[in-house]
Amino acid sequence: MPELDAGDDARILGMGGSAKALSIHSDSCADSVLGFSELEDDEPPLDQKHLNLVHEELEKLNIATDVINKLEVQLDGARACFREIQASWSEKLKELSKKYSSAIAKARPYYEAKVQERKLRDESQRAAIRFERATSLLAVAKQQVALTQDSLNRQTTVHPECLEVLNHHIQRVNEAEEERLASGDEHRAISERLMALADQIRKMEKDQRSSIKKSRTYFDQRLEFTRVLERQKELILRLEAEVRQKKCDYTTSLRNLERISDSIHEQRSIGGGSARDPPANPPPYQPTAPPPYEDDDGRYAINHETDEVIGPVLCLMRANGCADWPQRPAGLGSGVILLAQQLIGGGERREPETTSSQ
């Protein structure tokens, strides 16, 4: 997750050194934020356009700060819930594993085969959809070829452009035919594997009927455990993505304030008579959708291969994953947040919430 660095705090604090007792509705407030001393009486005050730009960016900082604090409270709660779910369900599965250890060992191949069967059925369905789509595309492409050939037959002079269109349609026919054949072969191969696996399942069900029945409770609980942890993992990753997005918005507003400050300083340094045009408005504030959340560091990885004790039981994080949960700085630079809130609130002081230890 990208964090705001100390340089961001230093830039805004440097620009806002004299802004502590100023209201956002005053010209002197904007002057202070942009680094203009109140003692510079010979300098003209900021025009309304510059004031509006500064006020807009400060409002964005204030909004982003509030949203980030709320999201990080939710994120800490989701992480704590993940740890609680992991601990409670792991204890349940350990007890069941001790109680039905022999039956579980005998029935495990059966339940693993059932899981594999479900996966093969899903793959078979996807291959069937591919085949149907390719068949439809092939029919459309053949129809386009027929129409193009009919049009060429009616023409007295064949134009190169028409031949190019015909070749394009013929190429689409060939591609659709290749896709249809490939998807058909894939579907047949999956169907054969599925039939062979179904025979194995029936044989195991007949040979280990008693063990399968005794261990059913354990494997049902184990499957539910997986589903619960997966849902909680998705929530955590979504919240982390939203926090990243809001911190990007926050950083963008800091950069915009710095750009406005540099532009005004430059105008004042070259004199009012030859000043350049005021800076263009920064891009409008349009929060984008957060990036797709990913579990790149594997902190919430779920292991399905083994199932002894806590980590092996289907869906646990690695042994150190929960105990040593990476603690990220939840708060942004406190000086920057406090300054923005003082300015936006017209003097009302609000301490930013910090939701996790630095």
Dist CA 78 CA 75 (whole Å): 5
Contact in structure between 271 and 85 (CB atoms under 8 Å): no
Task: Give the HSE-up count for residue 202: Cα atoms under 13 Å, Cβ half-sphere.
Answer: 6
pLDDT number for residue 307? 44
pLDDT number for residue 46? 65
DSSP 277: P
Alpha carbon of 39 to those of 26, 32, 51, 82, 254: distances in Å?
16, 11, 19, 56, 25
Q: What is the pLDDT along the chain (358 residues), one digit of tens a residue?
A: 444 444 444 444 344 333 333 333 444 444 445 554 444 445 566 667 778 888 888 999 999 999 999 999 999 999 999 999 999 999 989 998 888 888 999 999 999 999 999 999 999 999 999 999 999 999 999 999 999 888 888 887 778 888 898 899 999 999 999 999 999 999 999 999 999 999 999 999 999 899 999 999 999 999 899 899 999 999 999 999 999 999 999 999 899 888 888 888 887 787 654 444 554 554 444 444 444 444 555 555 544 444 443 333 333 333 334 433 334 443 444 444 444 444 444 444 444 444 444 3
DSSP 277-307: PPPPPPPP--PPPPPPP--TT-TT----S--
Dist CA 353 CA 43 (whole Å): 38
pLDDT number for residue 23? 36
Dist CA 215 CA 106 (whole Å): 9
**Any idea where the domains of the chain sit in the sequence?**
6-344
Contact in structure between 311 and 301 (CB atoms under 8 Å): no
Query: Who's near 47: CB < 8 A, 6+ residues apart?
Result: 278
Read off the pTM. Answer: 0.54
pLDDT number for residue 45? 64
pLDDT number for residue 49? 78
Shortest CA distance to 333 belongs to which of 1, 10, 2? 10
pLDDT number for residue 266? 82
pLDDT number for residue 261? 84
Dist CA 100 CA 150 (whole Å): 73
